[in-house]
Amino acid sequence: MTGRAFTKAGRAPFTLLFATAVVLTLMALLTPTAGIVRATRQDVDGPPPFQRPSAQWPRTFNDLDGDAVVLSRPPRRVVSQFWSIDEFLYSLLPPEQIAGVSATAYLPGVSNVHDAVVRHRPVVSSDPERVVAANPELVLVSSSARADMTAVLRSTGIPVYRLSTTFTSLRQIADTILHVGYLTGADAQAERAHQQFLDTLEKARASRPPHIPPPRVLGLGGTFSYGRNTVFHDVVTTVGAINVAAEGGLVGYSAVSTEQILRWDPEWILLAAEQGKEEQVRSRVLNDPAIALTQAVRQGRVVVLDARVYMPMSPYTRRFLEALPSVLYGQ
């Protein structure tokens, strides 16, 4: 690298800076697409349906990274490092077996397992030292968990299993019930919970009275909505409603403008809020002059659901499947 080699480039520093800005901006704009492409391939098609292993132990499972994790017996102490995995575990295992949970589990406003964790006080699993001290026999991490965190735990000899937690359909949630159950040796509980989930799905499918046309529903999370390839879309269509965001061409969880909302003119707007913050959330929508012109606002159909019910991305999604028909059809 000599001074002469850069002389030509040095003659036009501003050109170079401008060209760099253009290239980097293009990279930035394309990179999320690459991420979405990866997510789409993995999550729209989804991970393949879970194959039940044999009833015998040891069992070998291949995680999301393709790493084989061999469990010689049902793990007696399990740690979760992600909020939705917390809920899978608590719906399948006795609380004493859950040695660690995500920090979100301790948030009463958003966690479906808060009461259980407060009673049993598992460690917060973001701290590797506490996880190691808890002597787990299995640690479940999410698809987006950082490699250095999992590497620390793996280097201590603890089996770490990366689960797909980017759900885009109810089938994936149902499958994950089985997956987590068979991983942790809770085979029977998993089959029961899985059947319960399917039964709730069936009931939700039959919930729309034939005389009521499909209601047009918009789900809002701040300035974001849920298009095709989201659990929200799957729930809404299962109960016989129309997801206006998907109808409007939205794919995945994406930002929406008030202009789009006005054009879609939903009959129902669904929001989520922690207890005590419902009016705050509702008024933010009602006070928007564009959204105020939609049918949903004019007809008083802006519904704020408890944040714990609104799309928990776990077996607790059943609560959303049960709540939505009562909201839309008065059941």
Partner 1 sequence: MANSTLRWGLFYLVTLPLLGVSLLVAVGIGSTELPWETILRVLLARLLPEGWISTEGISNADAVIVWMIRLPRALVAALVGAGLALAGAIMQGLFRNPLAEPGLAGAGAGAVFGAVLAFVAGWSATTVITLPVCAIAGSLLSLLLVYAMATRAGITPVSTLLLAGIAVSSLLSAVSSLLISLNIMNWQVAQEIVFWMMGGLEARTWTHVWLCAPLVALGAVFALLHARELDLLQQGEDVAAAFGVDVESDKRMFIFLAALLTGASVAVAGSVAFVGLVAPHAVRMLLGPSSRTLLPASALGGATFLVLCDLLARVVHPPTELRLGVVTALVGGPMFIWLLLRRYREVSA
* Residue ranges in contact with partner 1 by CB under 8 A: 1-4, 6-7, 9-11, 13, 16-17, 20-21, 24-25, 27-29, 31-32, 34-35, 38, 65, 124, 126-130, 132-133, 135, 142-149, 151-152, 155-157, 224, 253-255
Place of tokens 């520093």: 13
Bridge-based pairing of strands 242-243 and 216-221 is parallel
Looking at the Cβ atoms of 128 and 185, the one nearer to partner 1 is 128
Looking at the Cβ atoms of 4 and 119, the one nearer to partner 1 is 4
DSSP-derived letter for residue 309 is T
Contact 164, 179 (CB under 8 A): no
Looking at the Cβ atoms of 7 and 60, the one nearer to partner 1 is 7
- Among candidates 252, 249, 216, which has minimal Cα distance to 232? 252
Bridge-based pairing of strands 224-226 and 216-221 is antiparallel
Looking at the Cβ atoms of 3 and 276, the one nearer to partner 1 is 3
Looking at the Cβ atoms of 4 and 211, the one nearer to partner 1 is 4
Looking at the Cβ atoms of 127 and 199, the one nearer to partner 1 is 127
Nearest approach, Cβ of residue 34 and partner 1 (Å): 6
The residue type found at 65 is D
Nearest approach, Cβ of residue 158 and partner 1 (Å): 9
Alpha helices in 184-330 (DSSP H): 187-205, 231-238, 244-247, 258-264, 278-286, 295-298, 317-329
Tokens of residue 164, six digits = 């797909």
Q: Which residues pair with 27 in a beta bridge?
A: none
Place of tokens 């009833």: 55
Nearest approach, Cβ of residue 212 and partner 1 (Å): 32
Nearest approach, Cβ of residue 305 and partner 1 (Å): 19
Nearest approach, Cβ of residue 37 and partner 1 (Å): 11
Nearest approach, Cβ of residue 127 and partner 1 (Å): 5
**Residue 25, Cβ neighbours under 10 Å: how many?**
10
Bridge-based pairing of strands 123-124 and 98-101 is parallel
State the Cα–Cα distance between residues 284 and 256, nearest whole angstrom: 15
Tokens of residue 233, six digits = 């879309």
Looking at the Cβ atoms of 256 and 321, the one nearer to partner 1 is 256
Nearest approach, Cβ of residue 40 and partner 1 (Å): 13
